[in-house]
């Protein structure tokens, strides 16, 4: 855990504020850019810490956005947690409060319906980018590559061809991880 100076904490908050406005479909959709910023660009945490931050938060009960707090904690302790969580929650909350009343009054308009329809592919693309960021370290590791690719294939086929709850695939991933991969 690093002790970040105030300018770095403000930059971290500002970056997460920008991502908050891009997080259509939830904060997890912007995890790929969070990774770029805190791991690749600044080196504040490692790939393993980033992936573990998401895994721990997703396994815990509570809101999906908690992974942002765990990333912040791993970057800079309590100040990092506050920076990332406030940065993620403030802009989107204020925007939703401002826009929701306006959109509710116009929900049947062509523009509002087109906007909602157009957001689906954007959300899907962001989720795929996040999935790749989380899977890439395992796909690159020679001793884990086949297991990771098999798990990705099983997940993709199961989600596309069945109505199986994703929680079973999460459980399968946990079992495979606990066994050290395939």
pLDDT of residue 176: 79
Site of tokens 């969070």: 34
Question: What is the distance between the alpha carbons of residues 44 and 173, in angstroms, rounded to a whole number?
Answer: 27
Q: Is residue 182 part of a domain?
A: no
Q: Is residue 43 part of a domain?
A: yes
Q: Is residue 64 part of a domain?
A: yes
Q: Is residue 34 part of a domain?
A: yes
Mean pLDDT of 86-108: 87
Residue 182, pLDDT > 80, answer: no
pTM, to two decimals: 0.64
- Gyration radius of the chain over CA positions: 18
The residue ranking higher by pLDDT, 179 or 34, is 34
Domain tally for the chain? 1
Domain containing residue 61: 6-119
Tell me the H-state helices in 36-180. 47-59, 66-105, 110-140, 145-161, 166-178
Q: Is residue 173 part of a domain?
A: no
Q: Is residue 172 part of a domain?
A: no
At residue 137's C-alpha, the angle toward residues 8 and 13, to 5°, is: 20
Mean pLDDT of 32-42: 97
Question: What is the distance between the alpha carbons of residues 34 and 16, in angstroms, rounded to a whole number?
Answer: 8
Site of tokens 């884990």: 144
Site of tokens 């929701």: 100
Q: Is residue 106 part of a domain?
A: yes
């Amino acid at each position: 855990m690093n002790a970040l100076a105030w300018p770095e904490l403000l930059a971290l908050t500002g970056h997460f504020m920008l991502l908050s406005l891009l997080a259509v479909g939830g904060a997890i959709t912007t995890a790929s850019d969070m990774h770029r910023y805190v791991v690749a660009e600044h080196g504040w945490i490692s790939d393993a810490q980033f992936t573990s931050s998401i895994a721990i938060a997703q396994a815990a009960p509570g809101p999906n956005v908690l992974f942002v707090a765990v990333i912040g904690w791993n970057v800079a302790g309590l100040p990092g947690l506050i920076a990332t969580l406030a940065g993620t929650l403030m802009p989107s909350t204020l925007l939703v409060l401002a826009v929701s009343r306006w959109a509710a009054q116009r929900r049947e308009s062509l523009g509002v319906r087109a906007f909602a329809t157009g957001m689906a592919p954007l959300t899907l693309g962001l989720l795929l980018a996040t999935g790749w960021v989380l899977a890439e370290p395992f796909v690159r590791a020679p001793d884990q590559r086949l297991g990771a690719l098999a798990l990705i294939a099983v997940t993709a086929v199961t989600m596309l061809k069945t109505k199986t709850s994703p929680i079973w695939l999460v459980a399968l991933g946990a079992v495979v991880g606990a066994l050290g991969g395939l």
